[in-house]
Amino acid sequence: MKAPDGNKLAILHALNQGDFISGQAIGEQLGISRAAVGKHITSLQEMGLDIYKVNGKGYRLSRPLSLLEQSDIEVAYQQLDGAGCEFEVQPIIDSTNTELMRRLQQGKVHNNSVLVAEMQKQGKGRRGRVWQSPFAANLYYSYYWRLDDGMHAAMGLSIAVGLAVYDSLKALYDLDVQLKWPNDVLVNGRKLAGVLVELDGTAEGPCHLVIGIGLNVAMPQTSADNIDQPWCDLSEFCDDINKNQLVAVLTCFLQKRLAQYQQQGLQGMYQQWNNVHAFAGQCVELSSGTSSWRGICEGIDEQGAVVLRVDGQSKRYFGGEISLRVKS
């Protein structure tokens, strides 16, 4: 997909004011021709944005979009008594996680930095998989966190992050999501969000963590066609989604869960996680490379390992590279 340039973003902001706006008026605002406006609008439409035209009136978005604004995020965060995080909004980026990792290598990232983007050109899932990240549609969020207790202490962190997503969606929209080990957020078995924790560090020294969250807000069909498993977006369940508020709330809950994690690991959290576990009591298959194991999924333990009942015995499986699939 071709990335939108600054003019397309400006056109989108003009359209997002709500009323019809003519190509002529947009062109005058941006200092470009009406024909150029028309071309940009066609390519925004090709990217899945629902913009329509009425002769004599101009262009309009079929529904208002929630666009990211740094100042709105900061205000919402302060209203929640949030403190300690710095926010940055990028229109388009390769991947918010990759960017924070890059800054980390260059020594240019502060602890508790949050980076969000309107679009990722190379959104990532685990093991090189693609995270669909169309423009102005969903939330692409990364948080940098430094943990001084060595890499081992970071095992199981995606459990705490999943709970922070759960807390946020419950608080904002009264939405009950389920969590899938180790890193997915589902509604009725369909994927609403994914978590990707990347780390850099040594066994004993400080551990640098980049916590990525991709959360579907209003997925256009063109991108949905590229997702090869059941998915959903927030717009199916809630109205008036404000991405800036979502960023602020998510950040506050994430800070709380990270602090809790730092103090007690998953001790106070794993049972909560088990209460919202997507596949509790179901027959599942775990796979890693060429190995796979089947059993009844019992949940997770206090270390964040998934526990399967196999031949009458409980067995624990741990590791960032294991996939879990439900088997009927």
Out of 85, 154, 217, 324, the only residue in the binding site for ligand ATP (CB under 6 A) is 324
For the CB of residue 131, give the shortest distance to ligand ATP in the complex, in Å: 4
Out of 38, 58, 125, 150, the only residue in the binding site for ligand ATP (CB under 6 A) is 125
Minimum CB distance to ligand ATP smaller for 102 or for 325:
325
Of 102-110, 204-212, 226-234, 268-276, the segment contacting ligand ATP by CB under 6 A is 226-234
The verdict on 320 binding ligand ATP (CB under 6 A) reads: no
* Lookup result for tokens 């005058």: 28
The verdict on 184 binding ligand ATP (CB under 6 A) reads: yes
Burial class (CB in 10 A: 0-12, 13-18, 19+), 205: exposed
CB contact burial 264-290 (16+ within 10 A = b; e otherwise): ebbeebbeebeebbbbeeeebebeeee
Task: Name which of 256, 279, 283, 282 is nearest 268 in CA terms.
Answer: 256
Active site residue 325: yes
Handedness of CA 244, 247, 248, 249 (dihedral sign): positive
The verdict on 135 binding ligand ATP (CB under 6 A) reads: no
For the CB of residue 7, give the shortest distance to ligand ATP in the complex, in Å: 26
The verdict on 227 binding ligand ATP (CB under 6 A) reads: yes
How far, in Å, CA of 81 to CA of 183, rounded? 28
180 bridge partner residues: 184
Minimum CB distance to ligand ATP smaller for 27 or for 134:
134
Site residues, ligand ATP (CB under 6 A): 125-126, 129-132, 183-184, 191, 194, 214, 216, 227-229, 231, 323-324
